[in-house]
Structure 1
Amino acid sequence: MLKKTMKLVLLPAAAVLVACGGGSSNNGVGTSAQSVVISGTAAVGAPIEAGSITVYDATGAVVGSGNTGEGGVFSVTLTTKGVAPYTLKLAKDEIVLHAIHTDASSGVSNITPLSDAVAAFVSPTGAAEGLVAALQTNAVAPTKELVQEKRQIISAALSPVSSAVGASADIFTSAFVANGKGQDKLLDSISVVSNAANGTVKTANVQFVVKVATDPENPASQLPVVNLTSRSSLAEANAERVRLGTLNANELTPDNASVLYTGLIANLNACYRDLPSVRTDGASAVLSAPCKKVFLNNDPTQYLNFGQRLGASAQFAGLFTYAGSVEFKPVPKPYLVQDLMGVRRGDGVGRAIVAMSWVNEQGNRENIMLYTTKYTYNGEEILGLSGDRNIYPWTVVSHSQKREFPLRSDRSLDYVQSQYLISVRDLIQSGKSVVNYAKVTTPKRKKILMASALGGASRDLAICKVSEVNFGSDNQVSTPKNTETTTYGVNSPKYHCSGTSKSLTFAQKFISDTETRLPSDIKDVGIMRPLDDSGQPFTPTSAELAEYPSMGMWEIEYVFMDGTTKIQKTWSVARPMTVEELMGSNGPEAVMPRYTDAALAGIKALKMQSSNLLTPCFSGDATCDAAQSPVPVPATGGYSLSWTDSIVPMTSLWISGRRNEENANKTWISGTNATGWDDQLGVRSTLRAAEIKCSRQSLADAHCATGVAVNALGDFHPRTWMTYSELWGKDAEQRNLMRSYNWYQPRKQDGTPF
């Protein structure tokens, strides 16, 4: 919906907002001297229209409610005065924001990501969402002085942005119009990321990302950030201001950014109103005019993302196959990266990465990000989907998890972990990989080496361990040490990594406070840490990790078997959580589903099947506990799994394990006679059960039963074991969260029980 400029801007602020208010302005209460009217604008840059507002007093009691109207404007008259301060909670689809009105009298309190950050700073839980619940359990309400102090700290730190966009008025308590200018442009020019951290005192870690013009497809630098916590002082905020420096208004988000964003959502919704037979040819061609308009230059063939074009079995598969109703919705951070004026390439062509969510008629929902390019259609500037433009598929995402060992009676070794998951698809031709190895450069300009997992069965490249990597004189990695000829032949040996890990761990902790070891001390859990300047593994402190950029630029250089190379870039859009955040209200334990008791019982029952060819242990094996060895495959079919509901929608299942070669003992513990495998299954977020079957991934992949074709599903080979499984979802920050299960006895690096 296009914004309309209000024509009452010369009236006093309260009069403007009451006159144009959306929703219940009186709620059945007269306008006596005791009435308290809270007015303002709700916006994330784009106005939040038709959002519901609930007002709570200092005890957590509901004292008023209303709705936002056109332009995000609202005015709520309290039904009862209650006790100040008042907390305003706004909810609209994926958007949930808070603001605090400090006085027991009428006034302006805008609801924005900045006011939500203030609520997080003063919340006893470190999360804005937890403030009301804390008040309802007798927490002490924040004082007016504390709220004003936090507002001042945020305003001081972001003052270079305010100056650049001409936002001279108070963003928290001054009326503004959501028209892409002034205070609204300030909101358009920043993204706010807030994480609650547990500890002796619960705190909020908040990062403000400044969206200066950066080419999304071929970035040259990181986005500037401001880092604040609940404990930050005004002096620290001023230090952040100095570090941010002077900004150029021409490189910040343009005035019409919100119009472009809401227009894209409207065009996507218009496209999906048609049936697939109208939208597409069912294979790869887009037919309908509304759907063509969604793509760059009204030409869907220009779309390229993750190495794929559009298609029923490729990108935007639902466009070709899904016949039900789909609605796209805005999210709190509309723009992640932008160069909407085209200043970085100098071609004047605007580009941006936007975030949104979708929901279908069954209630399935998912958070997504899309690469877009600005173009003109029938005289109107609009955003069209263009993709990341990468020829070869790769992504980097923040990945946080809680891992459990369900076969143990003692749960003390359950742990939390956060990492960057680096998914680089191995490129297979004629059943063999054509990638020799790949060099990945992180946002901190560190180097990572990746290569095929030994045996070639995995669909992704793996990160090489320190022992497998050569270091140059400057301690930067050069090439992997290890080559293998088993899969590719003696005439074409290629580099490989012995493990299957695709992630770098930045935080890890056992749940038990009495456990002094690290989860990475467990053998074969795939915990690989980043390397310091000397090439040695290290784990950043929580303070260091909290300042990692939530928007991070990554680079990959492919080195192919024929000696040619190719460089591509991508973005991570959330940093890994700290240990304290993993244990807080944002962490996977609090928001992710878990297997049902029935699912756990079914998996454990597989271990008792007499028909399995492999045995859990063999005579004389001192390191294997029969009750805690990996899980044999079902005699037929796949693993049947069920799980509980959760805050974050669960949209993927993952299992992995080992496929053993023939050996006399028929045991899984045989590092030289086993190859790794993994199988993934996407599921609708409303499902609570599914069966995950064997997926054969290449000619060299032998973990499926004989006769299962490449890229087909079927039974597992009887000499296959499951060692690991997970439930996976993505939150509104585009961050992977998962609950993981290890199906074996954890062992130390020397092989003895942990």
Structure 2
Amino acid sequence: MTSISPKIRAGWAAALVLSLAACGGGGGGGGGFPTAAGSTGSTDTGGTTTAAKLSGVAATGAAFSGATITVVDQTGSTVCTTQTDSAGAYACTLPASTKAPLVIKAVRDDQTFYSTTASAAGGTANVTPLTTIIVAELSPDGNPASLAGAIQTNPGAVTADTIKKQTDELVAAITPLLSALGLAAIDPISGSFAADGTGQDKVLDSISVSVLPDGTAANIEITVKATPADDGSAPLSISYSTSSAITPVLPTVTASALTNTPSPATVADLFTRLTACYALPLSQRVNAPNDTAAVTGGPADVIAPACRTLFVGDDPSTYYNNGNTVGRTASNRGAFNSLFRPGPTGLVWDRGNFEFVRANGDLVLSYRWTDTAGNADNDTIVARNVGGTLKLAGNGNDHSASVRPFSEHRDLINTPNFNSYTTGYNINIDNKTDGSGNPIFSKVLVTAPDGVVRTFVPQSGLSYLVVMKDDGVTPSGSPIVRLAGAYQNTATAGNPADKELGLYFVGTQYTDAQIAALQNQSVWTLEFFDTSNASVATQKYRTLARAQSVAEIRQLAFVNITATMRAGLLAETDIATDGASIYGAPSQNDPNNVDFSADGQLDAWTVPQGALAPTSLAVYGRAPFGSTTAGQPGARFNDSTGVASSARKAMVFCSTQGSSDKHCDNTFGQQYAEGTSINTVELWARNARQVEISKKIGFYKLQ
């Protein structure tokens, strides 16, 4: 879209990808704009001069509480830094020297929102996903992070007129939703509201928004969280670019499709109750003789009312998720098995976010958990509204699987010219085995949103099923359907698919524009077949976000291995022709484990600003040569461990997947067998939108 003032390119563009969820959970309600504690800015009124005060609410439907607010003026000076309160409110006293226009940024964890105002005289400037769209439209390269730099050389890009133009276009685009909610036109930036599920906040509760910069523009999607006719129904959404000449308008929205939208307070209450349950000692949560040792048990062994009442019917036996009921087995399986372990005591559940409604009315919520050591991760859960209170119901699926967008940086330390970015979807299907260690599935047919069917099969040694290549005969060794890839070095000829033959890429790779046109809430269908090749279950999965384009991934910050760690890996892996790290004979004194740390137990990786800290470390490789089939390379395997978000090194131990898995040795306890090779290490995390961020460190060499 064209602004009144010609757009110029900013001298810098922050490598930041925004994935903005506009919906309920977490934080409190309330109105008004009290001055937040800890704010900085001018307090000198200059005698009789009245100080300019800028205030507003940061919200995604839920209050964006505990966020850092930064206000930058036309000169590039930071004229205010403060925190939002429990209601998402902030207030600043602006210095007399403040020069308009201003750009306001709200940051909390991996989520960032923006707003702007053309006045230095104070007033209201809310910060929401909708205001972020307006800022993206005003930014010369579509990246809202660039506007603060751009106004230093072109302040005319942000005036009352240009803001109004972009606001009017945005409000026109969502008018069908406003009509369904019985609302007149809203003013996202300067309109007063509270994060309480009413008025303008109800709009935020009813949509999810993504703003994904790609280096030249931003790709925007607005999705309405309407109840679908069935779980396979396409979402109500619009997608467009900041470079588009016209902003599309949402399709018709009916009021009845929005009746299942929970209020922020209702969502927050569920996670407050979960936190209260986990605040209890182990022996008060479940039948346990003490508070220090994990126990096994089932639904009936959950004894605390604070925990039992979390579930539908106040009965944990009603919960069914991925083939599991509430409980814990000796192998640590079971839904909510954390209730039966002492480590999760004190777990805090928050950042609850309403994502979408299932056809049966159940609600899919995203959330964050944080343990007592400060480690955190993001996940989703299914709840049911029972008389105004959310109760845990489970997804009702018989088998464990997930479908998530996947953004990857492959760092090939021995052949760096072939470092690459890839994008797609991780179709993670649990390679479930029977009592003898044999897979229970012969295959799983996965139907993508475009109707293409791909076959996934089990492989010995791997914890997940892998996608078959398009020849229908060759397993790829990976569960990831890669839509596109590109070398990091744009001067490197060709495509990663030409050389990374163990990976699966679609036959005709998607362009960035085709990926940008995908819907965030895409629906995938998985049909499971047992070993007799009979269909035993069909499950549907709706994503929260789409795959990112390669151009969007290039804007991301990824975790990096340290220079010392890289040097050590280069020295170790260059010995082998193919670059793999190969284990010698098992040892009692120096066991064959993966000690992923630099020499001297120094840190193995660093987390740059804007990057997600890894929460999982995985290793990939092959069992000893000839151990699976005489004269042939050993079967592929993967092992992994969870890592604290504050960790910068970790250990991985060998773990067998089934009876035919030969990559472990039990001579001196479980460790890697002689001849087992490791060729790749993965540092993995997922953001609040359930996008998986993967950094692969490959030891193998491409020619």
Q: TM-score range by the shorter chain?
A: 0.7 to 0.9
Does 2:676 align with 1:720? Answer: yes
Structure 1 equivalent of residue 384 of structure 2: 373
For residues 166-209 of structure 1, the C-alpha deviation after alignment (integer angstroms, 9 at most, x for no partner) is 231323322224332331111111011121212xxx32212111
Q: Give the distance between the partners of 2:307 and 2:389, measured in 1 at CA.
A: 13
Instruction: Name the SS for the 2:209 alignment partner.
Output: strand
Q: In the TM superposition, what are the counterparts of 1:13-92 in structure 2 within 5 Å? A: 17=32, 28-30=43-45, 35-49=51-65, 51-69=67-85, 71-92=87-108
Number of matched pairs: 643
Give the TM-score normalised by structure 1.
0.79
1:570 aligned to 529, 532, 541, which one? 541
Q: In the TM superposition, what are the counterparts of 1:605-684 in structure 2 within 5 Å? A: 605-607=571-573, 616=576, 626=577, 628-633=578-583, 635=585, 636-641=591-596, 642-646=604-608, 647-662=611-626, 672-684=632-644
Deviation at 1:320, TM superposition (A): 2.8
Q: Give the distance between the partners of 2:520 and 2:422, measured in 1 at CA.
A: 17
What letter matches 1:227 in structure 2? Answer: S
For residues 597-618 of structure 1, the C-alpha deviation after alignment (integer angstroms, 9 at most, x for no partner) is 3433444454588xxxxxx4xx
Structure 2 equivalent of residue 310 of structure 1: 326
Is the Cα–Cα contact under 8 Å of residues 347 and 369 in structure 2 kept in the other structure?
yes
Deviation at 1:97, TM superposition (A): 2.2
Q: Give the distance between the partners of 2:356 and 2:284, measured in 1 at CA.
A: 33
Structure 2 equivalent of residue 189 of structure 1: 206
Does 2:499 align with 1:522? Answer: yes
Deviation at 1:41, TM superposition (A): 2.9
- Shifted more, 695-704 versus 144-153: the winner is 144-153
Deviation at 1:74, TM superposition (A): 4.2
Deviation at 1:735, TM superposition (A): 0.7
2:469 aligned to 449, 465, 469, which one? 465
For residues 239-292 of structure 1, the C-alpha deviation after alignment (integer angstroms, 9 at most, x for no partner) is x21xx3211012125564212111112112212222223222333332222222
Q: Give the distance between the partners of 1:651 and 1:392, measured in 2 at CA.
A: 24
Is the Cα–Cα contact under 8 Å of residues 413 and 570 in structure 2 kept in the other structure?
no
Structure 1 residues 440 and 255: alpha-carbon distance in aligned structure 2, compared to 1, 3 A threshold:
closer
Q: Give the distance between the partners of 1:424 and 1:212, measured in 2 at CA.
A: 28
Structure 1 residues 684 and 320: alpha-carbon distance in aligned structure 2, compared to 1, 3 A threshold:
farther
Structure 1 equivalent of residue 5 of structure 2: none
Does 2:440 align with 1:434? Answer: yes
What letter matches 1:351 in structure 2? Answer: D
Structure 1 residues 25 and 657: alpha-carbon distance in aligned structure 2, compared to 1, 3 A threshold:
closer
What letter matches 1:580 in structure 2? Answer: A
Structure 1 residues 670 and 173: alpha-carbon distance in aligned structure 2, compared to 1, 3 A threshold:
farther
Q: Give the distance between the partners of 1:271 and 1:125, measured in 2 at CA.
A: 47
What letter matches 2:545 in structure 1? Answer: A
Structure 1 equivalent of residue 560 of structure 2: 594
Is the Cα–Cα contact under 8 Å of residues 649 and 731 in structure 1 kept in the other structure?
no
- Shifted more, 267-276 versus 389-398: the winner is 267-276
Structure 2 equivalent of residue 327 of structure 1: 348
Q: Give the distance between the partners of 1:79 and 1:99, measured in 2 at CA.
A: 19
Instruction: Name the SS for the 1:318 alignment partner.
Output: helix
Q: In the TM superposition, what are the counterparts of 1:533-548 in structure 2 within 5 Å? A: 537-548=507-518
Deviation at 1:443, TM superposition (A): 1.9
Structure 1 equivalent of residue 310 of structure 2: 294
2:158 aligned to 133, 143, 146, which one? 143
Does 2:234 align with 1:266? Answer: no
What letter matches 2:510 in structure 1? Answer: P
- Shifted more, 27-36 versus 431-440: the winner is 27-36
Q: Give the distance between the partners of 2:659 and 2:62, measured in 1 at CA.
A: 50
Deviation at 1:651, TM superposition (A): 0.7
Structure 1 equivalent of residue 296 of structure 2: 283
Structure 1 residues 140 and 542: alpha-carbon distance in aligned structure 2, compared to 1, 3 A threshold:
farther
Structure 1 equivalent of residue 691 of structure 2: 735
Deviation at 1:400, TM superposition (A): 0.9
For residues 674-732 of structure 1, the C-alpha deviation after alignment (integer angstroms, 9 at most, x for no partner) is 32111121111111111212110100111111559xxxx82112121112221111123
Instruction: Name the SS for the 1:395 alignment partner.
Output: strand
- Shifted more, 272-281 versus 43-52: the winner is 43-52
Structure 1 residues 703 and 375: alpha-carbon distance in aligned structure 2, compared to 1, 3 A threshold:
same
Is the Cα–Cα contact under 8 Å of residues 353 and 371 in structure 1 kept in the other structure?
yes
How big is the alpha-carbon RMSD for the aligned residues of Structure 1 and Structure 2?
3.0
For residues 314-344 of structure 1, the C-alpha deviation after alignment (integer angstroms, 9 at most, x for no partner) is 343433322553322326xx221125xxxx4
Deviation at 1:524, TM superposition (A): 2.7
Deviation at 1:501, TM superposition (A): 1.7
Structure 2 runs not aligned, ≥5 long: 1-25, 288-294, 586-590, 597-603
Q: Give the distance between the partners of 1:670 and 1:542, measured in 2 at CA.
A: 44
- Greater relative contact order (Cα 8 A, min sep 6): structure 1 or 2? 2
Q: Give the distance between the partners of 2:240 and 2:217, measured in 1 at CA.
A: 11
Identity of aligned residues (%): 24
For residues 490-544 of structure 1, the C-alpha deviation after alignment (integer angstroms, 9 at most, x for no partner) is xxxxxxx433121111121111222230100004341321xxxxxxx11121111
Does 2:369 align with 1:358? Answer: yes
Deviation at 1:122, TM superposition (A): 3.0
Q: Give the distance between the partners of 1:296 and 1:27, measured in 2 at CA.
A: 52
Is the Cα–Cα contact under 8 Å of residues 375 and 383 in structure 1 kept in the other structure?
yes
Give the TM-score normalised by structure 2.
0.84
Structure 1 residues 139 and 267: alpha-carbon distance in aligned structure 2, compared to 1, 3 A threshold:
farther
Q: In the TM superposition, what are the counterparts of 1:106-505 in structure 2 within 5 Å? A: 106-124=122-140, 126-132=142-148, 134=149, 142-144=157-159, 145-168=161-184, 169-198=186-215, 202-214=216-228, 219-233=231-245, 236-237=246-247, 240-241=248-249, 244-252=250-258, 254=260, 256-281=262-287, 282-284=295-297, 285-312=301-328, 313-314=332-333, 315-321=335-341, 322=343, 325-330=346-351, 334-338=353-357, 344-345=359-360, 350-376=361-387, 381-408=388-415, 411-429=416-434, 430-453=436-459, 456-468=460-472, 482=473, 497-505=474-482
Instruction: Name the SS for the 2:321 alignment partner.
Output: coil
